[in-house]
Chains A and B, each alone.
Chain A
Amino acid sequence: MGSRLTLTARLTLLFTVGSAVVLLAFGALVMAAIASHFDELDRDELAGKLDYAAQLVATMDRPLSKEAVAKELASSFAGHHELVMQVRGPSGMVWFASPGVEFPVSLVTAPHLSHWRSGGRTFHGLEKTLLVGATAGGALTLVLALDTAHHERFLQSFRVTLWLFVACAVMFMGLLGWVSARRGLAPLRAMRERAATVTAHSLDRRLPVQAVPPELAELAITLNEMLERLEDAFKRLSDFSADLAHELRTPVSNLMVQTQVALSLPRDAEGYRAILESNAEEYERLARMISDMLFLAKAENGLVLVHEELVDVAHEVRQLFDFYELSADEKRIDLQLRGEGALRGDRLMLRRALGNLISNALRHTPVGGTISVAIDQDAARLRIQVQNTGEPIAAAHLARFFERFYRADPARQHEAGEGIGLGLSISQAIAHAHGGEVAAASNDGLTIFSLTFPNSR
């Protein structure tokens, strides 16, 4: 439950509790100060009155009689309603006491005030011994006490006011805390609102980085990076389906037209056979395109299971040369291999990646040319370069070679022997799946495709 509180509620709560503690401590301090101040006032007043009583008693006629002392003191303090007194003779016997007040037998030693309750009233009292000389055969003890009802009433009402104030202040601080938390968290809410508007169609939206406090900027940057990756992946996916639909349309339309034309008139068996054979070619092409696209989709989304093993690259290239030798021979193309290296990866996938590069080179090397594969491995990386002689290729084309269905010359689309334009994309996807990179370069009558893999895998 506690962990599910909103941040605003949490901050408000912390703020409120903090203020309450501070205010309560403050209130308690004030109350204590006032109480001690009253004590001090009472003490001063009682001390003054006691001094006065002592002088009074000192000037009285000797020997002192109980009645005379009581009368004298009673008349002296007659106007003071809240003042009560007790007079004890030399033997400790009570000579006189204010009526209705019970005095404790022993009091705290002056100058400290004694507090006691009697008959529902609270008294602050002070005791003094009145020295009356040797003739009296002892000393008189006078106790003066103040009924604190007046103070009590004041303190009571002050306490109520104070705690009311504290309660209001705590509530006010809570409100203040809530307002500040809300205001402080406003950038977060703004981010949330912005994030809520991000949909598949508006993946280009970004969270504000400049407008939020530094603590949130980091978060905004991270989230923006995530959005960027999502946008990229999403774009790839939608490009992919667009490419797919576009590329599938041509063979399907060929098939439809061809078949419908064939069916429009009765034909001889040879005619039907020709149509079916042509259809079979188109189907094969379609099937291959679909499986290539599927492979690409999986490879690009990192779904292809990589069966890792140590692959001897030179061995793979020799195997591929063995396969492509016949094609190369037809065009009197010389196949060369230099260097060697090993790489951890999926052997079948790497073979396919290399095979696509070599078959691409075979297609574009003129008769009598050379294709050479150079493997070069150092501590950091393994590089495989497939290099073929041929016309220089414009940089604009080079950059796009690895795009799906890209053909340098669109007019040659679907020519016999021409690939379906996925080979190099597949090589790229395989390289990426192995943490590697592809590159193309063309100069001095040489075209070079290279695969570079990090060594420490």
Chain B
Amino acid sequence: MKVLIVEDELKTGDYLRQGLVEAGFVADLARTGTDGLHLALTGDYDLLVLDVMLPGLNGWQLLQSLRRSGNALPVLFLTARDQVEDRVKGLELGADDYLVKPFAFSEFLARVRTLLRRGKASIEPTVLRIADLELDLMRRRAQRAGRRIDLTAKEFALLELLLRRQGEVLTRSLIASQVWDMNFDSDTNVIEVAMRRLRAKMDDDFEPKLLRTIRGMGYVLETSD
């Protein structure tokens, strides 16, 4: 998977590239809009990560030129501007997603994966698995090592999210938004409590441990190898 990053801020660009490379992607970095457009048109990329404020050609102009040339490369906008109008403008110009700075790298990675997955017609699995944990979406049942686990509706939704995004670190705000539709940062420990309860049911009595807390970031469901 080849990703092109167009970002003029030195550190941000370098760390985005490093992060993507370490996550198993091939990543190129362009520092200006003009270079970015040239690379996007000539290189064979699967995704374009685009900053809005750029020297030479800004992100919106770059995207416009790209779409005008008939290129359907998926585009993820990165910007410090969070006004609704900016977001709408970006999406109307043909961007596929929009991420406001500052963002958690794990969320960035999740969005990159989602965008890359999209378009590839895949049959929705009805059973999600990790190690010996199974979640049957049709029958709303969970089991690990053959033992049935009783989950509340929210715990089921939470585990489904973790399974669908396994290997990705999910931030608290992302979890609150996806599972409870709470789209603002809450300063309570709801997510911690929910994770503790879920862990007690699906991890405490089993080996290996699958659910990990990443301090300062969030939670990840993965096999520990």
Task: Verify A362–B102 contact, CB threshold 8 A.
Answer: no
Is there an interface contact between A330 and B193, defined as CB atoms closer than 8 Å? Answer: yes
Q: Is the CB of A326 within 8 A of B197?
A: yes
Please judge, given known A-B contacts A359-B188, A417-B189, A418-B187, whether A323 and B215 are in contact too, CB under 8 Å.
no
What is the CB-to-nearest-CB distance from B153 to chain A, in angstroms, rounded to a whole number?
10
CA distance A294 to B185 in the complex (A): 13
Residues of B180-220 contacting chain A, CB below 8 A = 180-190, 193-194, 197, 214-217
Judging by beta carbons under 8 Å apart, are A355 and B216 in contact?
A: no
Q: A277-B215, A287-B102, A323-B180 are in contact. Are A292 and B190 (CB under 8 A)?
A: no
Which residues of chain B have a CB within 8 Å of any CB of chain A? 82, 84, 102, 104, 154, 176, 180-190, 193-194, 197, 214-217
Q: How far is the CA of A288 from the CA of B197 in the complex (A)?
A: 26
> B187 touching A327 by the CB < 8 A rule?
no
CB distance from B22 to the nearest CB of A (A): 15
B187 near A419 with CB under 8 A, answer yes
Cβ distance B57 to chain A, nearest Cβ, rounded Å: 27
Residues of A within 8 A of B217 (CB): 280, 284
A363 contacts chain B at the CB level, 8 A cutoff: yes
| B188–A324 CB distance below 8 A | yes
Residues from chain B with Cβ under 8 Å of A329 in the complex:
193
B184 contacts A351, C-beta separation under 8 Å: yes
Q: Chain A residues with Cβ under 8 A from B104's Cβ?
A: 284
Is A420 part of the binding interface, using a Cβ–Cβ cutoff of 8 Å?
yes
Given B154, B183, B216, which contacts A281 in the complex, CB threshold below 8 Å?
B216
The reply to whether B216 and A323 contact each other, CB–CB distance below 8 Å, is no
B194 surroundings in chain A (CB, below 8 A): 326
> How big is chain A's contact interface, by range?
35 or more
Which of the residues B84, B154, B193, B215 comes within 8 Å of A327, measured between beta carbons?
B193
Known contacts A280-B215, A280-B217, A322-B180: A417-B190 contact under CB 8 Å: no
Q: Which of A279, A355, A420 has the most CB of B within 10 A?
A: A355
Residues of chain A within 8 A (CB-CB) of B187 are: 359, 363, 417-420, 423
In the complex, how many angstroms separate the beta carbon of A418 from the nearest chain B beta carbon?
Answer: 7
Pair B189/A292 contact, Cβ less than 8 Å: no
| Most chain B beta-carbon neighbours within 10 Å: one of A276, A277, A327, A362 | A327
Instruction: Check A65 for interface membership: any CB of B closer than 8 A.
Output: no
Q: Is A352 an interface residue (CB 8 A)?
A: yes
**Interface contact A278-B188, CB-CB below 8 Å:** no
Check A348 against B216 for contact (C-beta < 8 Å). no
The residue on A at minimum CB distance from B191 is A326
Shortest beta-carbon distance from B225 to chain A in Å? 19
Find chain A residues with CB under 8 A from B215 CB: 277-278, 280-281
What are the residues of chain A within 8 A of B176 when measuring CB–CB? Answer: 323
Report the minimum CB–CB distance from B81 to chain A (whole Å).
Answer: 11
21 A-B interface contacts by CB (under 8 A)? A281-B216, A287-B102, A292-B185, A319-B180, A320-B182, A323-B182, A323-B186, A323-B190, A324-B188, A324-B190, A326-B190, A326-B193, A326-B194, A326-B197, A327-B188, A327-B193, A352-B184, A355-B184, A359-B186, A417-B187, A418-B187
Asked whether any CB of chain B lies closer than 8 Å to the CB of A78, the reply is: no
CB-defined contacts of A1 to chain B, threshold 8 Å: none
Query: Which chain B residue has the least Cβ–Cβ distance from A276?
Result: B216
Note all chain A residues with C-beta closer than 8 A to B183.
Answer: 348
Q: Which of A284, A287, A288 has the most CB of B within 10 A?
A: A284
Give B84's nearest chain A residue, CB to CB: A305
**Chain A hits for B82, CB < 8 A:** 291, 294
A residues 393-420 with Cβ under 8 Å of B? 417-420
0/1 interface trace, chain A 202-243, chain B, CB 8 Å (1 if under): 000000000000000000000000000000000000000000
Residues 266-282 of chain A: 1 if any B CB is under 8 Å from the residue's CB, otherwise 0? 00000000001111110
The CA of A362 and the CA of B193, in the complex, are separated in Å by 14
B residues within 8 A CB of A287? 102
Closest Cβ of chain B: how far from A321's Cβ, in Å? 11
Contacting residues, chain B, for A290 (C-beta < 8 A): 102
Q: A251-277: which residues lie under 8 A (CB-CB) from chain B? A: 276-277
Minimal beta-carbon separation of A189 from chain B (angstroms): 44
Identify which of B104, B185, B197 gathers the most chain A CB atoms within 10 Å of its CB: B185
- Give the docked Cα–Cα distance between A122 and B194 (Å): 123
Q: In the bound complex, do residue B188 and residue A363 qualify as a contact, i.e. CB atoms below 8 Å apart?
A: yes
Further contacts, 13 of them, CB under 8 A, given A323-B182, A355-B182? A277-B216, A280-B215, A280-B217, A284-B216, A288-B185, A291-B82, A323-B176, A324-B190, A326-B197, A351-B182, A355-B184, A419-B187, A420-B187
- Contact indicator B181/A319 (Cβ below 8 Å): yes
Task: Give complex CA distance A320, B182 in Å.
Answer: 8
CA distance A355 to B186 in the complex (A): 8
Which of A287, A294, A323, A352 counts the most B-chain CB atoms under 10 A from its CB? A323
